[in-house]
Amino acid sequence: QVQLVESGGGLVQPGGSLRLSCAASGGSFSINAMGWYRQAPGKERDMVARITNGGSTNYADSVKGRFTISRDNAKNTVYLQMNSLKPEDTAVYYCNAGIYDYVRGVRNNYWGQGTQVTVSS
């Protein structure tokens, strides 16, 4: 069964950097767009950044110029490089991918388990 596994969250001081990774695995599949979302306590889950399988990207206004999304199609992995982190970036970050599962013959929207990012001094 296809799954997304995230890594790279943690505690960082304001102005610091973190890099999140998310790898898809399990069975035979193809991936369309991939992205990162985040959810702070008491708030809705919002899009942070997305990247198509062709490499086109879009970002939330709040992270433009600070965050960079990239992907390695050979490794089925998407990354989020986060620089100049602010306390308001504190949230659980979720990986998302549109995946066609060749084994089951279905296309679904998959989510990772989430990784906590805390920006605090």
Whether pLDDT at 27 is above 90? no
- Confidence class for position 74, pLDDT limits 50, 70, 90: very high
pLDDT digits (tens, 9 = 90+) for 80-119: 999 999 999 999 999 999 999 998 899 999 999 999 999 9
Ordered DSSP codes for 14-83:
TT--EEEEEEEESSSEEEEEEEEEEE-TTS--EEEEEE-TT--EEE-GGGTTTEEEEEEGGGTEEEEEE-
> What's CA 119's distance to the chain center, in Å?
17
pLDDT digits (tens, 9 = 90+) for 33-59: 999 999 999 999 999 999 998 999 999
